[in-house]
Amino acid sequence: MRVKLDCFYLNVLINSLYSQRSSYDGEKNRHIDTLLLRLVDVSETMRTSRKKLLFEPVEVSIIKQCLCDWRNQQIEAEKEAAVELIEELLAKYI
């Protein structure tokens, strides 16, 4: 799946994956760590423009789960602005 992200949304995605990585089992954490390293490398070389990133199906599944879990935490914390931002990012993967 190709997803077009700018630096801002890429950094939100990185924060989401990082904040959720301790919530899962060892195998999923290894996938998250690998994905995080790749996304950080892309983020460091990315300019202010948008870039289409190719994600494997397993990565898309992990991203969706992490974003949903993070969104639910933000809903419980009543952080409406964060919830809206996460939902915008999540919509790119649906």
6-63 pLDDT, tens digit each: 999 999 999 999 999 888 988 999 999 999 999 999 998 887 677 889 999 999 999 9
At 74 the pLDDT is 96
Model pTM score: 0.88
Which domain does 57 fall in, by range? 2-91
What would the 3-class secondary structure string for the chain be?
A: CEEEECHHHHHHHHHHHHHHHHHCCHHHHHHHHHHHHHHHHHHHHCCCCCEEEECCHHHHHHHHHHHHHHHHHHHHCCCHHHHHHHHHHHHCCC
Provide the domain count of the chain.
Answer: 1
CB atoms within 10 A of CB 20: 21
At 12 the pLDDT is 95
At 93 the pLDDT is 93
pLDDT in tens, 19-35: 998 889 889 999 999 99
Encoded amino acid at 26, one letter: G
